[in-house]
Amino acid sequence: MRRCVVIGGAGIRRTEKIRQYLREDDFYLFCDSGLRHREALGIRPHLIVGDFDSYPRPAGEAEVIALPREKDDTDTVFAVKEALRRGFEDFLLLGAAGERLDHTLCNVSLLLFLDSLGKRALLLDDYSEMEIVSGKKALIADSFAYFSVLNLFGTARGIRIEHAKFPLQDAEITCEYQYGVSNEVLPGSTASVSVREGRILLIRVWPEV
């Protein structure tokens, strides 16, 4: 399944780490000022979208969809919707977290949006990878320094965490009380996270450089 990599304009410092996630057959969709990352990541755009309020509109580099500056969707949200219209079902979001909190929260909500459509999605920042867990078990290797599970909406029930320093069995996490932060995988093990009802955000935290 070919994957769509959506590159936004938030800062990316750990480019070597991010590049390890890229595949030869990825489709690269750049959003406006996300274009500033193309040289550091060593990739070229297949499609560029944006209102070009924060980066000059490129000429002849790839297909371009120019957007109005006054619109309901951010450039990144539009990019994800455009990729869905083109049939993509697997997504990697880069340059989509950090700096402006409003854009970060909006882009984290894209993980919920894509999960509700049955699509696969992973969001990377300079510290971690994030994905939604809903019904299907997710795994965490012991190469990660920490992992956290957060509830973004309503109440998540039947949460199960295995092979971790702080295991859970049939637990409940509400939006008002987030106690699933900074867990650790047992050495030599692979931890797992699942939820029976609701959805949770799983954040796998990389070791410090």
Output the six-digit token pair for 66.
Answer: 């120019």
Q: Is the pLDDT of residue 124 over 90?
A: yes
The predicted structure's pLDDT at residue 18: 95
Q: Is 154 left (phi over 0), alpha (psi -120 to 50) or beta?
A: left
What are 32-78's pLDDT values in tens digits? Answer: 889 999 999 999 999 999 888 777 777 777 899 988 887 888 899 99
Share of the chain above pLDDT 70, in %: 100
Q: What are the chain's domains?
A: 4-126 (3.40.50.10240), 133-205 (2.60.120.320)
Give the mean pLDDT of 126-137: 94
Q: Which residue has the higher pLDDT, 51 or 166?
A: 166
pLDDT band at 195 (very low <50, low <70, confident <90, very high): very high
User: Distances in Å between the alpha carbon of 208 and those of 20, 126, 131?
Assistant: 16, 10, 20
Share of the chain above pLDDT 90, in %: 80
d(CA 202, CA 191): 12
Q: Is the pLDDT of residue 182 over 90?
A: yes
Q: Which residue has the higher pLDDT, 149 or 54?
A: 149
The predicted structure's pLDDT at residue 69: 80
The predicted structure's pLDDT at residue 170: 96
Q: Is the pLDDT of residue 141 over 80?
A: yes
The predicted structure's pLDDT at residue 58: 76
pLDDT band at 130 (very low <50, low <70, confident <90, very high): very high
